[in-house]
Amino acid sequence: MFCRNCGKEIDEKAYVCPHCGVLTSNAEAQKKTVNDSGSAGWGVLGFFFPIVGLILFLIWRDERPKSAKAAGIGALIFVIVYVIIFVIIFVIIFVIIISIGTQGGTVFVPALFSVL
Ligand SMILES: [Zn+2]
CA–CA dist 83, 116 (Å, integer): 18
CA–centroid distance, residue 16 to ligand 1 (Å):
8
Written as tens digits, the pLDDT of the chain (116 aa) is 899 899 999 999 898 999 999 988 887 777 666 567 778 888 888 888 889 999 989 998 888 888 899 999 999 999 999 999 999 999 999 998 888 776 655 555 566 666 66
CA–centroid distance, residue 31 to ligand 1 (Å):
19
pLDDT of residue 27: 79
CA–centroid distance, residue 35 to ligand 1 (Å):
25
CA–centroid distance, residue 63 to ligand 1 (Å):
29
CA–CA dist 10, 72 (Å, integer): 41
Domain boundaries, the chain: 1-35, 36-115
CA–CA dist 65, 69 (Å, integer): 6
Q: Are 16 and 25 in contact (CB under 8 A)?
A: no
Q: Are 100 and 112 in contact (CB under 8 A)?
A: yes
